[in-house]
Amino acid sequence: MTNLAIEIRNLHTRIGEVWIHHDLNLEVARGEVVALVGGSGSGKTTLLRQMIGLLQPDRGEIRILGESPLGGGTQRERALRRRFGVLFQQGALFSALNVYDNVAFPLRELKALDEHLIHDIVMFKLAMVEMLPRHARLMPAELSGGMVKRVALARALALEPELLLLDEPTAGLDPDRANGFVRLIRTLMDELGLTVVFVTHDLDTLAALSARVAVLAEQRILICGSIDEVVKLDHPFIRNFFLGERGQRAAPAIA
């Protein structure tokens, strides 16, 4: 078994006539927590979608938990997808399903568990993300932004994944709710031993969660290292992101 949870080699991605990624390389070890940062339109979410098999690159290789996310037949792809969980930026809950059924959805897709066991798993996962039993009956439209994130996280964890991928996990949350959600993710990471890759533009979230930071600029990963290592690289995006006005406000968090 490879020690790498994610291995990306010589990735090239074009959307229309525009090249988004050019010779992009990235490695994430099992058990590691890596933040992915970059400017607007740099291809962060595109890269995340390629990792989970929603988009195919033009050239290059992606291996997730030792396997390609695409190819080898539907059954193999589904088996791999059960090994990772995804939290999309807006939660991506099914609006016609209540909280319980949203979390139960991936469990029912297995077609191997009876409803009694599914009930126990769903309620356990909701408790893990600090949701109360009465919340299971609520519809997505009745949830606050923070509750949507928690339910989406419970669903992402439903199948006991080895790898968790998060797209802007604190986007749209006020500072208090963002801090609470970050503490929850940190606790779950420690308890479950997850490998985590997350896209963020929030320096507080980055500092609280990540061991390493991968900077996506100029169509490639410029550097992947600790915050101390990253800020030493003289590059316009890094200067603006980490050392500009926003970075100065977050200086205690990234010190």
The answer as to whether 89 is a domain residue is: no
Length of the chain: 255
Do 105 and 40 reside in the same domain of the chain? no
pLDDT tens per residue across all 255 residues of the chain: 568 999 999 999 998 888 999 999 999 999 999 999 998 888 898 999 999 888 889 999 999 998 888 877 888 888 888 888 888 877 788 899 999 999 999 999 887 788 999 999 999 999 988 889 999 999 999 998 888 988 998 999 888 899 999 988 888 878 888 888 888 888 888 888 889 999 988 898 898 888 899 999 999 999 999 999 999 999 999 999 888 665 555 444 554
Same domain, 123 and 244: no
Q: Specify if 212 maps to a domain.
A: yes
State residue 244's pLDDT score: 67
Do the domain assignments include residue 229?
no
DSSP annotation of 1 reads -
Sign of the alpha-carbon torsion through 116, 120, 125, 130: positive
pLDDT at 246: 57
Phi and psi at residue 165, to the nearest 5°? -115, 125
CB 11 within 8 A of CB 188: no
Contact 37, 241 (CB under 8 A): yes
β strands within 48-141, DSSP E: 59-64, 84-87
Query: How many helices (DSSP H) and strands (DSSP E) are in the chain?
Result: 11, 9
Residues 17 and 73 in one domain: yes
* Phi, then psi, of 70 in degrees rounded to 5: -125, 145
Same domain, 125 and 210: no
253 and 127 within one domain:
no
Element (H, E) at 220: strand 220-225
Task: With respect to residue 39, please indicate whether it lies within any of the assigned structural domains.
Answer: yes
Residues 167 and 143 in one domain: no
**177: phi then psi, degrees, rounded to nearest 5:** -65, -35
Question: How many of the other CB atoms lie within 10 Å of CB of 138?
Answer: 15
For the chain, the maximum distance between any two Cα atoms, rounded to a whole number of angstroms, is: 57
d(CA 40, CA 42): 6
DSSP annotation of 67: B
Domain end, chosen from 138, 160, 182, is at 160
Does residue 11 sit in the same domain as residue 67? yes
Q: Which domain holds residue 29?
A: 1-83+162-221+238-255
Looking at 110, 132, 160, which one is the last position of a domain?
A: 160
pLDDT at 215: 96
- 185 and 253 part of one domain: yes
Task: Give the chain's end-to-end CA distance (angstroms, integer).
Answer: 36
Assign residue 7 the CATH number of its domain.
3.40.50.300
CA 165 to chain centre: 2
Residue 68 lies in a domain: yes
Are 13 and 53 part of one and the same domain? yes
Domain count, the chain: 2
Q: Is 186 contained in some domain?
A: yes
d(CA 211, CA 99): 32
Look up residue 129 and give its amino acid.
Answer: V
Q: Domain for residue 230, yes or no?
A: no
Instruction: Report if residue 88 sits inside a domain.
Output: no
Q: Are residues 246 and 167 in the same domain?
A: yes
